[in-house]
Structure formats: structure tokens, C-alpha cells
Structure 1
Amino acid sequence: MTKPYDPADEGAQMSFDGRMAYGDYLSLDMLLNAQKTWTDTHDEMLFIIQHQTSELWMRLAIHELTAARAHLIDGHSRQAFKMLARVARIFEQLNSAWDVLRTMTPSDYTAFRDALGQSSGFQSHQYRQIEFMLGNRNKAMLRPHAHRADLVELLENELAQPSLYDVAIRALSQSFALPDAVVNRDVSEPYAPSPEVQAAWTEVYRAPEIHWELYELAEKLVDFEDYFRRWRFNHVTTVERVIGFKRGTGGTGGVSYLRRMLDVELFPELWHLRTEL
């Protein structure tokens, strides 16, 4: 009779008493006990895990965006490009997650929707932080976090820093003359598109061999926003499929609110210049 395979025969560690194990390193006991359901319905577990894993991916996106911005400020473009490419792939993962959630029918969701109370993804402070980091800076969106002074402080600290696009425009200004009102604007306010910025980016695209780092930076930003737009679109489609045009649990218009978000451009000149080429 063949002896069953034993990984220990090839040196695998099999005893972890008092030693670092996989579950210890990843804090799996805490992580896997964080799925507290509020009803006895089957699909609530799917709903909770979908949103918890999305928050974990957003946690990584913030980590990467923070480092990418710092590298761009320090002039280390190569390192920043790798991180921006990773963030785009993170949002590819987030897009795929909607496919799983869409297996939940309206009947499945209705069975536990009341248990959500007023909670809503609209209140995700990490999503808000990502939007602020990218330049979509609407101070009205601080209000859903007013009950948490620590979160308001976190988001206000982000508003005090230049967004990723502000940093990209400052890099652009090293090769092209841009208005002082753009380069040294109040970064806590929403960004307004500038014809001078668009003209400069257009020149980058007309002569990429001369402005290769700026060209690659622009394409990394567009690549990321492409996935970000898809994520928003998938969000709208999923919500409409599951609840139709009901109001969201957080009080928003639901689909109508999400559709309005589809019109938000993070890096407007990088999209508009394509018409001019």
C-alpha cells in the first residue's frame, strides 16, 4: 500500500506551537469573525463580504495612491508609475466583484434590506478619501462623517494636500508655462478644467518622444480613470438590477444619484484633448 504523502518529509513546517503561523500573520481569527449578520437570510453574508472586501481593496488603493503621490512630488516617476498601474488593477478586481453581487436577486435583497437601517456605501470614508485624493473635492461630502471626529480629521487632512492630479499638473508645469492660478490654486477646492492645461497635455501627446515621462504619467492616469469609470457604471447597473429606482438606504436617490456620479471627470483635460489630436 502506498504511503500517504506527508509534506514534512520534504521539510514542510507542520508544528506551530508558539510560532508564527499563516492565520497569525494575517489575523484571520479577527478577519473571519467580522461577518456579523443581522438577519437569518442566506444572501446577507454575500452582501457583507462584498462590501468588506471592497473596503480592503480600497485600503490598498489608498496605500498605493499615497505612495505614488509622494514619489511624483519627489520626482521619482518610475516608482509612481508602477503604483498607479497597480491601482488600476485593484479597480479591475473591484469591477469583477460586482459580477458576484449581481447573483443576488431583488427578492434576496429585500429580505434583509431593512436591517441596514440608514447605512449605505455612500458613507464609505475610504471611498470619499480616494475621491479627494484624485481631485473630486466636494466639502459637502464631509457631512456624512460628522459623527466621527477622527474621520473628519482624516478627510480634512487630505483636503489640505494637493490631489494626485494637482501633483501631475505641477509636473506638467515644469515643461510648460501654466497660469499661477492653476499651479498654486487652493487645493482644498474642486479643480476646474483649464484651457492652458489642456493645451499643454495636447502638446505632450503630439510629441510623446520628447515628453515621454509626462506622456506615460498621463496614460497611467487615464488607464486608472477608465477602470474607475467602469466601477461606477457597474455600481449603477447592479443597484438598478437589484432595487430598481427605489431610494438608497442612506437617503440618496439611488440610481439617479449614481448616474450623476458617472458625469464626474477626475482628469478632464486628459480626456478632452483627444478630440484635438
Structure 2
Amino acid sequence: MTDHADAPQRAHTDFTEGFSYGSYLHLDTLLSAQHPLTDAHDERLFLLIHQVSELWLNLIVHELRAAMTLLDQGITDAPLKMLTRVVRAQEQLTQAWEVLKTMTPADYLQFRSAFGQASGFQSYQYRTVEFLLGNKNPVMLRPHAHRPDVHGPLAEVLAAPSLYDLTLRLLAARGLQVPEAVLHRDFTQPYTPNDEVLDAWLTVYRDTDRYWDLYELAEKLLDVEDNFRRWRFNHLTTVERTIGFKRGSGGTSGVGYLRQAVQIVLFPELWAVRTSL
């Protein structure tokens, strides 16, 4: 038999002094992180979906921070690739709800009471993403007051310019008229629409040849918000079909709270510019 170069027997098999696939990924730790509190069959599904979602959120935070660092330096090309990766990760997050929807209300009720007041509302990685994207609310720091290691970094993100704030600084640096009150606003508060900012974006969209990088960045920001809305909507429908209008485990109104969240607009002028063109 010919010993082909790609034959399985030629693969490396001795990992006594090097990384194997499992050791590099710390698979033993990763796969031992599921600790159901009940014997309910679907609790493992519930745990895994949320753990996997936290991993995707971790990547999104990583990419958003990197993109924002470069945007703060006036660089626009590399951030586009990073934001594209954010969009792809968001798609995976949204698809996770489809798997969770295979759990029926009866399935969920078998273990829901076991985890008490624990809720995705308390996810500090999700809150970091919201703050980075500009959905600021100081009240959202409260669930993390017991964790200084989490509360401190979250407070810093709350007080710092968002992705959209940095984008508006780019517009101003390119000579477009962005009010000083917008550029130097209180970043702990959510952004509010501004007519002068809309006019600046109209200039970009009416002369895309001149402002191509800003135009491309604007469209990428819309991709991010579009996917964020889809994630929220799928979250809403998943919760409604699982618990109806019961109060959420974390104390929110559940579906009512999620419906309000779906209405939030992160980059208002980028949506309004379509009507004004």
C-alpha cells in the first residue's frame, strides 16, 4: 500500500510536550461548565444556549473595542472588517434563539423556578455591547454593584463615547458640521437625534464619491443595528412563546420590557437620512 502524504497515519499523535486540540481550547473546562440544577431534560439546552451566547458576546465586545480604538485614531478601513465580523457573530446569536424555541412552555416550567432571580438581564457582556453601541442607562449598572470587577469596567464604558459618538467625531474631523454640544455631550446618557447631524449625513449620502469611507462606515453601522434589532425581536418572540406575559425571572415585566427594547434606535440619523434624501 502506498503511504500517501495525506494518509491519516501520518498525522501527529504525540502530544506529551505540545498542545493538542483539546488542551489548546481547554475543552475539559469548557465541557464541564454545565451544572444543571434539576433533572429536567431541557435544562442542559437552556444552559448551553446561554453559555454559547456569552462566548459570541465576548467576541463582539472584542471586535467593537478594536474597531472603536481605530476609529478614534481616524482609521476607517480596518474597522469595517471588524464590524463585519460583529455582524456575522450577531447572526449566530440570533440563530441561537431558533434552537431554544424547541423548548416548550411545559419543558421550561420543569426547571424555571430552580435558578431563582438569575436572568439574561444581568449579563454584563450584553450590557457592555449595549453601552458600546450607545444604549446608555446608568440604572443598568445596579445589577453589578456586588461585583466591583464588573461594575468598574462597565461604568467606564458608560462614561465613554459610543461607537456612534466616535463616528460623529470622524464627520467633524472631515469638515462636516457637527454641533459641539453633540461632540462633547454627557456620554452616560443615550444619544438624542439632532437635525444638524442629519444634515451632515445628508452631505455624505449626496456625495458618496467624496465621502466614500464615511458612507461605507454608515452602512456598516446600519448592518450592526439591523442585526441587533433582529436579535431583540427573536428574544421577544422566544420569551413570549415560552412564558407568555409572565414576569421575567430577573424582575422585569418580561415581554413588555422586551417590546420596549425593540423600539430603541441607536443611530437615528442613519435611518432618517433615507427619508430626507
Cα deviations by residue, 1:75-94 (Å, 9 ceiling, x for unpaired): 22110000011101110111
Match of 1:109 in 2: 108
After superposing the two structures, state which structure 1 stretch, 15-24 or 42-51, moved more: 15-24
CA distance in structure 1 between the partners assigned to 2:45 and 2:8 by the alignment: 40
Stretches of structure 2 that go unaligned for 5 or more consecutive residues are none
Structure 1 residues 7 and 143, CA gap change in structure 2 (3 angstroms): same
Q: Does residue 229 of the first structure (1) align with residue 229 of the second (2)? A: yes
- Is residue 168 from structure 1 mapped to residue 150 from structure 2 by the alignment? no
State the Cα distance separating 1:48 from its structure 2 match.
0.2
Q: Structure 1 segments of 4 or more deviating over 4 A?
A: 5-10
Q: Structure 1 stretch 7-16 or stretch 126-135: which is displaced more?
A: 7-16
How far apart, CA to CA, are the structure 1 residues paired with 2:219 and 2:8? 50
Code of the residue aligned with 1:219 in structure 2: it is E
Partner of 2:55: 56
Deviation at 1:10, TM superposition (A): 5.6
Query: How many positions carry a matched residue from both structures?
Result: 275
Match of 1:272 in 2: 272
2:124 alignment partner AA: H
Map Cα deviations across residues 208-227 of structure 1 (whole Å, 9 max, x no partner).
Answer: 11110110010000011101
Kept in 2, the 8 Å contact 1:8–1:14? The answer is no
- What TM-score does the superposition give when structure 1 sets the normalisation length? 0.96
Q: Letter of the 1:72 partner, please give it.
A: L
2:179 maps to 179
* Alpha-carbon distance, 1:7 to partner: 7.0
Distance in 2 (CA, whole Å) between partners of 1:9 and 1:50 is 34
Gaps of 5+ in 1: none
Query: How far off its partner does 1:108 sit?
Result: 0.4
Deviates more, 1:117-126 or 1:180-189: 180-189
Distance (Å, rounded) in 2 between the aligned partners of 1:257 and 1:107: 23
Equivalent positions of 1:55-74 (< 5 A) are 55-74=54-73
Q: Tell me the equivalent position of 1:139.
A: 138
Instruction: Give the CA deviation at 1:273.
Output: 1.3
Structure-2 separation of matches of 1:48 and 1:248:
17
Shift in Å, 1:179 = 1.1
Q: Is the 8 A contact 1:169 1:183 kept in 2?
A: yes
Q: Aligned residues: percent identity? A: 56
Query: Cα–Cα, structure 1 residues 186 and 111, in superposed 2: closer, same or farther, change >3 Å?
Result: same
Cα distance in 2, alignment partners of residues 186 and 8 from structure 1: 62
Superposition map of 1:1-277 within 5 A:
11-174=10-173, 175-277=175-277
- Aligned counterparts of 1:9 and 1:84: Cα–Cα separation in 2: 38
Task: Write the distance in 2 (CA, Å) between the matches of 1:17 and 1:39.
Answer: 38
Letter in 2 for 1:207: D
TM-score (norm 2): 0.96
Q: Is the 8 A contact 1:65 1:83 kept in 2?
A: yes
Q: Deviations over 1:41-75 (max 9, x none)?
A: 10000000000000000000000000000011112
